[in-house]
Structure formats: structure tokens, C-alpha cells
Amino acid sequence: MRSATLDPTAGERARRIQAHPEVPERIVDPMDPRYGELTPSGATSIGSPARIVDPLDPDCGEKRL
């Protein structure tokens, strides 16, 4: 059994975002605190991955080679 899609227009939105990444889109994830706001221009082009911090990891905060 497939789960219900929360955003039935997700495919349409994804194609639109890929075709025109410079156009801001509304944030439609209700769990996102920025829900309903417009994304900044060019938000789909991420410069670098976010760093994951684990305070239980003894090597946390050290740069890896």
C-alpha cells in the first residue's frame, strides 16, 4: 500500500524549480518553521553540504583529511 502524497503537485513544482531555479518558491513543508515564506533566490544551488555536529562523538569539531 502506498502512502498518500502530501503535495500532489510535487512533480510539477520540481520541474518548475529545475527549469527556473532563480524564481523563489513558497516553502510548503508544514514542519518547516519558514512554512509559507518564499525561498531566497537561487536556493536550489547549495554551495557546500551542511556540517553535522555530534556532541557524543569524541572527534567532533576536528577536521578530517
Tens of pLDDT along 10-50?
788 888 888 888 888 888 888 888 888 988 765 444 555 66
In a domain, 13, yes or no: yes
- Give the separation between CA 18 and CA 15, rounded to whole angstroms: 5
Eight-state DSSP code of residue 57: -
- Give the separation between CA 55 and CA 35, rounded to whole angstroms: 29
Nearest to 51 by CA among 61, 43, 40: 61
Using a cut of 0.75, tell me whether the model's pTM lies above it: no
Overall number of domains in the chain = 1
Structural domain span for residue 12: 7-40
In a domain, 61, yes or no: no
- Give the separation between CA 38 and CA 31, rounded to whole angstroms: 15
Of 21 and 6, the structure prediction assigns the larger pLDDT to 21
Q: C-alpha 52: how far from its chain's center?
A: 15
pLDDT for residue 45: 47
Confidence of residue 51 (pLDDT cuts 50, 70, 90): low
In a domain, 58, yes or no: no
In a domain, 18, yes or no: yes
When pLDDT is averaged across residues 42-59 and rounded to a whole number, the result is 64
